[in-house]
Structure 1
Amino acid sequence: MFTDFIAHATRHLRPVFLLLLAMPAIAAQPASTPFNASIDTSKPVTYTNPVLPGFYSDPSITKAGEYYYLVSSTFEYFPGIPVFRSKDLVNWEQIGHVIDRPEQLPDGVNIFAVTLRYHDGTFYIVTTNVGYGWNFIMTADDPAGPWSDPIWIDIPHIDPDLFFDDDGKVYVINSAFTLYEIDIKTGKVLNETGPVWATEGGRYAEGPHIYKKDGWYYLMAAEGGTEEAHSITIARSHNIAGPYYSNPANPIVTHVNRAGQQNPIQGLGHGDMIQADDGSHWMVFHGYRSVIEGGVHHTLGRETCLSPVSWPEFGWPQVNGNGTITPEMRVPTLPLVPVAPEPVRTTFDKPLGLAWNYIQSPPPAGVSINTNKKALVLTGSAHTLGNPHQKGVSFVGRRLQHTHFKASTELHFEPAASHEKAGLTLLNNGTHFDIMVGTDNGTRYIQATFQFGEINYTSEKRTLAPGPVVLTVEGTGSDFHFGFEQQGKATVLDSVSARYLSSETIGGFTGVYVGPYATGNGKASNSEARYTWFDYKPNTP
């Protein structure tokens, strides 16, 4: 089993991994403190957080007509920047992507935080493509697309915000809190001021957004780094160029206090606000859920949450009373308008849906849909999983959205050579755990493989019967279980703690993806791997 392997391999691991393994569980704290908000359980639950589960981080929101629209960061995944719409801020449906053509960003994608705005009939995004050109604007008449090619802005740092002032001037402010007046048509910088606010001194200040209300300019920020110390702070000024004066009640959102300790959702930060037609104010921001009870290990990425905001005239915004949220929210909402749930099964008789992504752009040549055979066809390239910036990896996947789930797929694969592999993987920031099929001297076998840095673990090989095989991965909160089904029999090959695929263990800003892959392990494959269906089903904890 993998746990036995870890005990044997410990002496080869990096010191930080040893420290992780030796770290004791955080002692459980009392469920209630003098700082907790009192929850009236007689009130009905009106919605649950996160409202967008899974890796939908750094959310930004705008409104046009009867819909609210939301986008998030996507880093190395393509298509990039998903676009969602909702009539009630609680129920969201994806309608497209901002970046869905390779020629938009031909050098590659590494999309950090995005700002979405609507002004005079046009939708705008501004974001940073780290390492591949930096800051740019894109526009669209329809948020579902198509979106324009990039308009590059020659400003440094990350997380740009876009603000349209009442006098017609347009501004961008970056994570250094330097303010730039720009020409919105060309991206040319016309004027530069700043930094306009020193923030509250929290580390890694980022994610600025400017709002105008009651004659004040409000400047909001994320501080503390995107871990447990994450928070949202705000300042204001009568002049867009400052000076900005901090809210004495900062931070306005955080769980890094006694009121938020032991909350199932941690790391709250990077928010954006919107006013509804009824005058109410709301904030979207991200947070994460741990998979280890009493510890801090999250696998799903940073997920979009929602909270009401009280914002009195000439006053400061107050988020859900004390700046904390709960998984079950018991607050008034806009009239709820449910959307159709995603189907459990994906069949490959039509193009892939919006939930699916590749690693990098353009999509790999070795991934295609054969509508005649009603199959997803993967042919392994020379590349293997493991490098988030490697183009041409034969992989396509979707986000994990639940700590308890089962993913399965039917694979038809007859490898002709020992270097040809295909299977089902859990992937996060280059680290991957797989259930895969290969061949050994003409005999097909199935095996679980777990990769962590330079350590590679393989389970025992099981010989397969002729014909297709169903590959399965099941999440039970703290663990992942890898198995297969053939001839009516289900077998679990191996299991591994989910902590080894968490962001705290492997780093990065994304969450776990699940999906089919194929590889030639150094040279191109000739054998096709055909997947006839894929199921993703949440399970009850």
Structure 2
Amino acid sequence: MTDAATYRNPVIPGFHPDPSICRVGEDYYLVCSSFEYFPGVPIFHSRDLVNWRQIGNVLDRPNQLELPPGTHASGGIFAPTIRHHDGRFYMITTNVNIGRHLLVTATDPAGPWSDPIYLDVPHIDPSLVWDDNGDCWLTVSGVESYRIDPLAGTVLEGPVPMWSGTGGQYPEAPHLYRIDGWWYLLVSEGGTHTGHAVSIARSRDIRGPFAPAPVNPFLTHRSTDRPIQATGHADLVQAADGSWWLVLLGIRAKGQWPPYHVLGRETFLVPVRWVDGWPVVDPVEEVMAAPAGSPPALATAPDPGAHRDDFDDPTLAAGWLSLRARPAESWSLTERPGWLTLHAVGDTLDRVGATIVARRQLHHDCRAGVRVDPGAGRAGLTLRIDEAHHYDLEISEGTVRVVGRVGPFRQVFAEQPVPPGPVTVTIATRTHHLLPPTVTAADQVTAPGAPFGVRPAACDTVSFEVATADGSVVLAELDGRYLSTEVAAGFTGRVFGLYVTEGSAAFDWFDYQPMPPAGD
């Protein structure tokens, strides 16, 4: 537990980018981008802004989320916004694969959410706000606004050009707020990597003109050595006690130059002060001081920690992901009670169409294990970024193998016979620390038992274990940076996936455990 005057970032770790937030009474609701994964748009609930629990997924039915097989990695669902107006929740986002914004509503944020209403307006990053007359405005990247009928999906006015930031590339994530008689326009710019920044302007009229703040961007970590980088894509919220907060995305890169980030873009929280009518924030730190008057519960901030699924429930928990779709014929929790049974609908993880059920990697130092009965099929546990970047612990024909796919290259790094029946396999990731000055990279790579290809610049080491009658055996250790955004590109982070690419396989349990950083 953290000190009573602090909380810990990120408040939602792992691949949870593009956060948007709203408050209803004492309750806060937050959504994130989901890209090529199904179900789409995870939704979280909190009573203190720090402790978040996933209560569902907004787009959890095939007729809400159209992700055809050709959906490329990091395609699909971009940048949702959640708002509450007149007793109803609204979530709007962009499905870039069909080039349309979609809007769904609900009276209960845990669902069910409505079938989508589509809006054919250009750009991405849609956001909603209602003016003093009750009219609804849609603002998109660019930056421009439209007055719309949100329930009919029709444009009533626009486009209305808005303020597009200070000149940084890709002005995006625009949000409008009505505060103390002003319309504030929050914009992110500079791209969603290390140049990311948050700027703001205001106007008395929602149609502008907007005057920028005297200091912009008012939040950026670019050109600094801070451990949290790429800070941006933010959303403001006022707490029930009157304090103001900003949720935003950021990355925690590891390794020597250049650093690599593997968890994707995560959700961070920072307090806001208002000075002369403008928001002011401190740099985003992993441990933040809570301002005076913050809710006492804000200090609790536990690590999301371990989770285990024994597949005893009749439905999959909200945190499980599949790629693009989850066909009914590809999985079952009733076919073999207490087990998750997967059926192959694709023959390789290297192409779109494989059967995968996955959970996000939430910590740099962690281990994920499964007990799998491969039967006569081919199945296992994968650590994945996309079809061209994944490491697999695969079991078939009485052998367990460590398989790596990086770009155009695919290689088997180790294999070992296993007896018939269920096998327990584990993938672990450990932060890679620099070598002592007396040890060279060549010494490390050529030394007996050295991790294959792990150099001083690596961000982490990924190890692959199989349980045997004589104990756990490490089959191989690989360089983790090849499963990073800097290598693979895209907008997502790593996931641990249970998969089958031939026949059928059953999984008795999945167990995820954070570990202390190497050296602790």
Per-residue CA deviation, residues 283-325 of structure 1 (Å, 9 max, x unaligned), is 000101113245420010100000000124x6110013xxx11
CA RMSD of aligned residues (A): 1.9
The alpha-carbon deviation at position 343 of structure 1 amounts to 5.3
Amino acid at match of 1:437: I
Q: Is 1:512 the equivalent of 2:494?
A: yes
- Partner residue, 1:239: 205
Within 5 Å, give how 1:200-239 maps onto structure 2: 200-239=166-205
- Partner residue, 2:320: 356
Match of 2:288 among 329, 346, 350: 329
What is the alpha-carbon distance in structure 2 between the residues aligned to residue 429 and residue 343 of structure 1? 24
- Partner residue, 1:411: 372
What is the alpha-carbon distance in structure 1 between the residues aligned to residue 10 and residue 346 of structure 2? 38
Within 5 Å, give how 1:286-325 maps onto structure 2: 286-293=249-256, 295-312=258-275, 315-320=277-282, 324-325=283-284
Amino acid at match of 2:34: T
- Partner residue, 2:384: 427
TM-score by length of 1: 0.85
Amino acid at match of 2:361: L
Per-residue CA deviation, residues 398-448 of structure 1 (Å, 9 max, x unaligned), is 000000001000111232xxxx42110011133211010122xxxx11110
Per-residue CA deviation, residues 46-94 of structure 1 (Å, 9 max, x unaligned), is 1111000001100000011220100000001111111111111011111
Per-residue CA deviation, residues 133-180 of structure 1 (Å, 9 max, x unaligned), is 511211000000000111111201100110111111110011011110
SS of structure 2 residue aligned to 1:194: strand
What is the alpha-carbon distance in structure 2 between the residues aligned to residue 250 and residue 135 of structure 1? 29
Q: Is the 8 A contact 1:62 1:274 kept in 2?
A: yes
Shift in CA distance, 356/49, structure 1 to aligned 2, threshold 3 Å:
same
Match of 1:144 among 110, 126, 138: 110
- Partner residue, 1:468: 422
Count of aligned pairs between the two proteins: 476
SS of structure 1 residue aligned to 2:403: strand
Match of 2:8 among 48, 52, 57: 48
What is the alpha-carbon distance in structure 2 between the residues aligned to residue 171 and residue 191 of structure 1? 9
Shift in CA distance, 364/253, structure 1 to aligned 2, threshold 3 Å:
farther
Identity %: 42
The alpha-carbon deviation at position 531 of structure 1 amounts to 0.8
Per-residue CA deviation, residues 75-118 of structure 1 (Å, 9 max, x unaligned), is 01111111111111011111111001112234547110011000
Within 5 Å, give how 1:181-192 maps onto structure 2: 181-192=147-158
What is the alpha-carbon distance in structure 1 between the residues aligned to residue 133 and residue 508 of structure 2? 57
Amino acid at match of 1:265: I
What is the alpha-carbon distance in structure 2 between the residues aligned to residue 372 and residue 436 of structure 1? 21
Match of 1:500 among 476, 482, 486: 482
Amino acid at match of 1:325: V
Q: Is the 8 A contact 1:473 1:483 kept in 2?
A: yes
SS of structure 2 residue aligned to 1:505: helix
What is the alpha-carbon distance in structure 2 between the residues aligned to residue 383 and residue 311 of structure 1? 56
TM-score by length of 2: 0.88
Which structure 2 residue ranges, 5 or more long, are not aligned? 432-459
- Partner residue, 2:333: 369
Amino acid at match of 2:287: E
The alpha-carbon deviation at position 372 of structure 1 amounts to 4.6
What is the alpha-carbon distance in structure 2 between the residues aligned to residue 45 and residue 216 of structure 1? 32
Amino acid at match of 2:323: I
What is the alpha-carbon distance in structure 2 between the residues aligned to residue 139 and residue 265 of structure 1? 34
Match of 1:459 among 398, 413, 417: 413
What is the alpha-carbon distance in structure 2 between the residues aligned to residue 380 and residue 421 of structure 1? 9
What is the alpha-carbon distance in structure 2 between the residues aligned to residue 186 and residue 87 of structure 1? 33
Amino acid at match of 2:474: V
What is the alpha-carbon distance in structure 2 between the residues aligned to residue 445 and residue 301 of structure 1? 32
Shift in CA distance, 86/484, structure 1 to aligned 2, threshold 3 Å:
same
What is the alpha-carbon distance in structure 2 between the residues aligned to residue 290 and residue 234 of structure 1? 27
SS of structure 2 residue aligned to 1:185: coil
Q: Is the 8 A contact 2:77 2:94 kept in 1?
A: yes
Q: Is the 8 A contact 1:170 1:182 kept in 2?
A: yes
Per-residue CA deviation, residues 180-229 of structure 1 (Å, 9 max, x unaligned), is 00012201000004321131111111100001112211111111111111
What is the alpha-carbon distance in structure 1 between the residues aligned to residue 256 and residue 48 of structure 2? 33
What is the alpha-carbon distance in structure 2 between the residues aligned to residue 96 and residue 467 of structure 1? 34
Q: Is 1:480 the equivalent of 2:462?
A: yes
- Partner residue, 2:361: 400
Q: Is the 8 A contact 2:305 2:514 kept in 1?
A: no
Q: Is 1:531 the equivalent of 2:499?
A: no
What is the alpha-carbon distance in structure 1 between the residues aligned to residue 261 and residue 5 of structure 2? 25
- Partner residue, 2:453: none
Larger displacement relative to structure 2 (336-345 or 65-74): 336-345
Per-residue CA deviation, residues 303-356 of structure 1 (Å, 9 max, x unaligned), is 0000000124x6110013xxx111011223322176996653210111211111
